[in-house]
Amino acid sequence: MNKPKNFVDMIHNEAYLEPFRENLITSESLINDFGRTIELLNGQWSFTIDPYDTCLRGKWWQEENRDKQGAFVPVDYNFKDWELTTVPSCINLQKPEYFWYEGPAVYTREFPYYEEEGNERVYLKVGAVNYEALIFINRQFVGRHLGGSTPMFVDVTDFLNKDIGNETNRILLVTNNDRKPTQVPMQNTDWFNYGGLYRDIGLIRLPKTFIADTFVGLKKGSGFKKIDVKVSVEGPEQSGTASFEIEELGIFQSLEITEGEGSMVLDAEPELWDVDSPKLYDVVIRYATDTLTEKIGFREIATRGTEILLNGKSIKLKGISAHEESVIGGKTMTEAEIRENFALAKEMNANYMRLAHYPHTEKAARIADEIGMLLWEEIPVYWSIAFTNPDTYSDAENQLCEMIKRDINRASVIMWSVGNENADSDERLSFMSKLAIKAKDMDSSRLISAACLWNKSELKIEDRLTEYLDVMGINEYFGWYDPHFEKLIKLFENSKSDKPVVITECGADAPYGEHGTKDELWTEEYQENVYIQQVETVRKIDYMAGFSPWILYDFRCPRRTNRYQQSFYNRKGLLNPEKTEKKLAFRILQDFYAEWK
């Protein structure tokens, strides 16, 4: 169809997004950056919200302010005069008027780049953007990423100015946290929809041929006496010899790389990593001119009947669920805040944390490796995803792959979860079983799970997805959403499991300081009594392998509109939002975990 002669592209073109459907940044370009130097681009960026998507419609990224005859024309932006915002951060917490904002926003800044060697490659790493990001460098479209909680890596070598005297480079990101029915998660969730560039961003310099991906861990079923090593490389030198070193174990081994891949199994007897003794070894891999360093803990996680085994010994997962949430920073959590969360969990005698409902920052798993905390990591296939949409599945699978590739060497991570609280439909079974199979194919060293719902009509722990899972997660809120607690006892009596079961959620709301009788809703005493009944019931179930109530501390949630009791917070936390005060139920869980074996 011919365009009308008075067609104005910026205001009449509703297909303006089509040019950006290409160049999708996926897990294929994700690289292992543990131990690598990242030149951070954090700091002050020019910023504006862009609710009408005018940047993309009007091609601001091209920075054209003259017509074909060279005359200046007015434009709707001026990068130098925009407000400044701190990166990383969440848009919603930068100004009161942005608190509820959802939609496009534009970030831009200039940075210098001086090429150190003529043969280096430069990758841009963006830690996370909720939920979509378009990246432009020096007036060129670099790529698009989907998924709000996993990192994007993209080779930007050819986009950078390298001419002497022209080392200034402009980077521009368009972010968009619109909630959509076909994305992962979809538009209906139970947490606050923070937007923006909320994790670190920076450049990583690499040689032309570099170590792109690694797996180093105990070989499952080897009696803890063999180490599995897998290495992949990118670049022109696809075949050659790599070196693999763990000096503390006296391992200095050559590894042949063929067509970019190499693997071997080594005899070794490392000290095993566990929650009481989180031993980490320095691992060094060299190939061509590249060197990659890792810190690896060697442990084995497995199941036997209804038990979970850590290093061959039965273990109860004594845990708590947690969102990536800060009163001050939203999803932009500092290392100190992450360590505080783990310290609080350890204070309640927990050995495990469920990181819900999306991949948290990689800093969490790295800290958990160091301090000895087991982790459940999850992708946001949450509630009613568009299970029949192939693009939605591609989005979910890519987020799963990015999460696994990012954290595959973290000893603390024992469970990959493919979703949460989805109705057991045929479409959901097809969608999520494929994810479970994909996770197991990528990483057979860990357990696969999902947080499932129970069969309400038969009062039974039952879900067809169980066939594809190693561990069955169950969310139940007896004593709260279902006030008839006696039904939980009946649920367990009706259920027979040949796999480990973990109660992934339970609990009740109570604002800190709200007191009354144990029968009065919204009081700390009511919440405490729910916990008393839960732990007394759970301790009697022989197939119960773990417990992670909902949730460590209160968190923001727009659906919680009871102004007196909730005020846009989910109040099921065992602490207040600031984590300064413990509710009565904290002690119940603490005492239970001290003696549960």
Q: Give the Cα separation of 428 and 377 in Å (integer).
A: 20
210-299 classified as CATH 2.60.40.10:
yes
Q: In this predicted structure, what is the pLDDT of residue 563?
A: 84
User: Token pair of 113, please?
Assistant: 């780049």
Q: In this predicted structure, what is the pLDDT of residue 5?
A: 85
pLDDT at residue 118 greater than cutoff 80? no
Q: Give the Cα separation of 487 and 489 in Å (integer).
A: 5
Q: Give the Cα separation of 195 and 100 in Å (integer).
A: 10
Residue identified by tokens 């696969």 is 448
User: Token pair of 321, please?
Assistant: 């669920």
Q: Which long-range contacts (CB under 8 A, 24 or more apart) does 562-570 make?
A: 565/509, 565/511, 565/514, 565/522, 566/509, 566/511, 570/190, 570/191, 570/509
Helix orientation angle between 584-595 and 524-538, rounded to the nearest 10 degrees: 20
pLDDT at residue 151 greater than cutoff 70? yes
Q: Sorting pLDDT into bands at 50, 70 and 90, what band is 162?
A: confident
List the 104-112 sheet strands across, edge first. Answer: 83-87, 43-49, 104-112, 168-176, 132-137, 140-146
pLDDT in tens, 438-451: 999 999 999 999 99
Mean pLDDT of the chain: 96
Which regions of the chain carry the CATH code 3.20.20.80?
A: 302-595
Q: Sorting pLDDT into bands at 50, 70 and 90, what band is 485?
A: very high
Q: What is the pTM of this model?
A: 0.96
Q: In this predicted structure, what is the pLDDT of residue 68?
A: 85
Give the burial string for 480-513 (b: 16+ CB within 10 Å, else e).
beeeeeebbeebbeebebebbbbbbbbbbbbbbe
pLDDT at residue 117 greater than cutoff 80? no
Q: Is 126 exposed, middle or buried (0-12, 13-18, 19+ CB in 10 A)?
A: buried
pLDDT at residue 302 greater than cutoff 90? yes
List the 261-267 sheet strands across, edge first. Answer: 210-218, 226-234, 261-267
Q: In this predicted structure, what is the pLDDT of residue 1?
A: 63
Q: In this predicted structure, what is the pLDDT of residue 305?
A: 97
Q: What share of the chain is helix, strand, coil (3-state, %, to 5)?
A: 20, 30, 45
Q: Report cis status (omega within 30 of 0) of the bond before 198.
A: no
Which regions of the chain carry the CATH code 2.60.40.10?
A: 210-299
Q: Sorting pLDDT into bands at 50, 70 and 90, what band is 114?
A: confident
pLDDT in tens, 41-92: 999 999 999 999 999 999 999 998 888 888 888 888 999 999 999 999 999 9
Q: In this predicted structure, what is the pLDDT of residue 49?
A: 97
pLDDT at residue 126 greater than cutoff 70? yes
Q: In this predicted structure, what is the pLDDT of residue 72?
A: 87
Taking residues 392-408, what's their average pLDDT? 98
Do residues 418 and 46 make contact, with C-beta atoms less than 8 angstroms apart?
no
pLDDT in tens, 181-202: 999 999 999 999 999 999 999 9
pLDDT in tens, 542-559: 999 999 999 999 999 999
Say how many C-beta atoms besides its own lie within 10 A of residue 260's C-beta: 16
Q: In this predicted structure, what is the pLDDT of residue 479?
A: 96
Q: Which residue has the higher pLDDT, 380 or 116?
A: 380
Taking residues 130-158, what's their average pLDDT? 97
Q: Which residues contact 288 (CB under 8 A, 6 or more apart)?
A: 207, 209, 210, 233, 235, 237, 240
CATH architecture group of domain 302-595: Alpha-Beta Barrel (3.20)
Say how many C-beta atoms besides its own lie within 10 A of residue 547's C-beta: 25
Q: Which one-letter amino acid corresponds to residue 514? A: E
Taking residues 91-105, what's their average pLDDT? 97
Task: Please state the φ and ψ torsions of residue 467, each to the nearest 5 degrees.
Answer: -55, -30
Residue identified by tokens 């879900």 is 463
Q: In this predicted structure, what is the pLDDT of residue 308?
A: 98
Taking residues 81-104, what's their average pLDDT? 97
pLDDT at residue 106 greater than cutoff 90? yes
Q: Which one-letter amino acid corresponds to residue 59? A: K
pLDDT at residue 166 greater than cutoff 70? no
Q: Give the Cα separation of 442 and 399 in Å (integer).
A: 13
- Judging by DSSP bridges, how do beta strands 152-155 and 120-126 pair with one another? antiparallel
Q: In this predicted structure, what is the pLDDT of residue 322?
A: 98
Taking residues 380-405, what's their average pLDDT? 97
Which regions of the chain carry the CATH code 2.60.120.260?
A: 9-207
Q: In this predicted structure, what is the pLDDT of residue 69?
A: 84
Q: Which residue has the higher pLDDT, 73 or 364?
A: 364
pLDDT in tens, 374-386: 999 999 999 999 9
Q: Which residue has the higher pLDDT, 22 or 467?
A: 467
Q: Give the Cα separation of 97 and 259 in Å (integer).
A: 54
Q: Which one-letter amino acid corresponds to residue 211? A: I
pLDDT in tens, 238-282: 999 999 999 999 999 999 999 999 999 999 999 999 999 999 999
**Rg, C-alpha atoms of the chain:** 25
Task: Please state the φ and ψ torsions of residue 291, each to the nearest 5 degrees.
Answer: -135, 130
CA angle 239, 244, 246 (to 5 degrees): 175
List the 301-304 sheet strands across, edge first. Answer: 301-304, 307-310, 313-314
Q: In this predicted structure, what is the pLDDT of residue 165?
A: 62
Reference 32, options 366, 299, 259, 369; nearest CA is 366
Helix orientation angle between 524-538 and 486-494, rounded to the nearest 10 degrees: 20
Do residues 511 and 502 make contact, with C-beta atoms less than 8 angstroms apart?
no
Share of the chain above pLDDT 90, in %: 92
Kindly write down the DSSP assignment for every residue of 478-525, as one continuous string: BTTTB--THHHHHHHHH---SS-EEEEE------TT----TTSTTSHH
Q: In this predicted structure, what is the pLDDT of residue 304?
A: 97
Q: 9-207 maps to which CATH number?
A: 2.60.120.260
Q: Sorting pLDDT into bands at 50, 70 and 90, what band is 163?
A: low
Q: In this predicted structure, what is the pLDDT of residue 261?
A: 97
pLDDT at residue 164 greater than cutoff 80? no
Asked which of 117-126, 140-149, 280-289, 566-575 is least confident by mean pLDDT, the reply is 117-126
Q: In this predicted structure, what is the pLDDT of residue 266?
A: 97
Residue identified by tokens 């990224």 is 61
The region that residue 198 occupies, defined by phi over 0 for left and psi between -120 and 50 for alpha, beta otherwise, is alpha
Q: Which one-letter amino acid corresponds to residue 467? A: E
